[in-house]
Amino acid sequence: MSSNLHPMLNVAIKAARAAGAIINRAALDVESVRISQKQVNDFVTEVDHASEAAVIETLLTAYPDHAIWAEESGKTHGKQGSDFVWVIDPLDGTTNFIHGFPVYCVSIALLVRGRVEQAVIYDPTRNDLFTATRGRGAYLNERRIRVSKRTDLRQCLIATGFPFRPGDNFNNYLRMMAEVMQRTAGMRRPGAAALDLAYVAAGFTDGFFETGLSPWDVAAGSLLVTEAGGLIGNFTGESDFLEQKECVAGNPRVYGQLVAMLSKYSKFASAGEKAQVRQAAAADLVAPDTRPSATLDDGQ
């Protein structure tokens, strides 16, 4: 840890590394990890709980008067009502972790009177540490990072997340993905939203969008993106997105183009825009299948 960093960021880094050590030890024998299911396709493991406990203990040892808002334990720790609230995802990408797919992370953010002021996202598989303090820039392993400079959407790589919970509007998501996919160089679905946002901040991807996300998924990543020169908001472009379960991020030019495409799918869209989406959905249901049938000439 660096003496040049904000003291609260240093504590968050210590907490993230402690959690990462727990995750890495468990990853050596992931098949022995006990798994339970919160709801369909939404898993939690003993590693999530152990990682979260390590983070909370580290934070409250340093700041006993701060509040905790964590994915697994909610708002049961710390001094609730404090102006200082630590927002924690102890293992973002649990489904990846339990399959041994090495894309997951620890995410820790500090809200001060409702605004994200400190952020840490730690990828224990790569020992990649993303950090940000409001007004001081965003960093990857102590190297300053910036969002990408691409402006032509046709050259851009966009990350997303697929709907997987009961009640998710899968067909709506398919329409969103179809719009974005046809206008970009490619789409990726790594499976850990916090890392997706960190990758936008680092310029590894040019943009990101997803629905159904919780504050602990996006809090730390949102500060990384803005401190790296990017923009983040809901699908209509409003910056008050933390608890709205829809998120789009990118460099400023890409962000604007994604908002223009996705705004009609927002829960805050106008009645006319929502009607446009419904009409498109109805047309999809009645449109004949005009795809050519497969032949041997297709390389099959």
d(C-alpha 14, C-alpha 59), whole Å: 9
* Pairing label, strands 157-160, 143-145: unpaired
Tens digit of pLDDT for each residue in 4-20? 889 999 999 999 999 99
Of 21, 231, 192, nearest in space to 93 by CA: 192
- The answer to the question of whether 91 is labelled as a binding residue is yes
- The answer to the question of whether 246 is labelled as a binding residue is no
Q: Is 5 helix (H, G, I), strand (E, B) or coil?
A: coil
- Position 300 pLDDT exceeds 60: no
- The answer to the question of whether 123 is labelled as a binding residue is no
- The answer to the question of whether 238 is labelled as a binding residue is no
How many residues in the chain? Answer: 300
Task: Measure the CA angle with vertex 204, ends 203 and 206; round to 5°.
Answer: 65
- Position 92 pLDDT exceeds 80: yes
pLDDT band at 38 (very low <50, low <70, confident <90, very high): low
Instruction: Go through the domains of the chain in sequence order and give each one's CATH number.
Output: 7-136 (3.30.540.10), 153-286 (3.40.190.80)
Containing H/E element for 109? strand 105-112
Q: Which residue has the higher pLDDT, 2 or 18?
A: 18
For residue 1 the two structure tokens come to: 């840890």
Question: What's the pLDDT score for residue 31?
Answer: 85
Burial of 264 (0-12, 13-18, 19+ CB in 10 A): buried
d(C-alpha 56, C-alpha 68), whole Å: 7
Sign of CA dihedral 220, 223, 224, 230: positive
Tens digit of pLDDT for each residue in 195-249? 999 999 999 999 999 999 999 999 999 999 999 999 999 999 999 889 999 999 9
- The answer to the question of whether 128 is labelled as a binding residue is no
- Could you identify the residue written with the tokens 């009409």? 279
Q: How many CB atoms lie within 10 A of CB 18?
A: 17
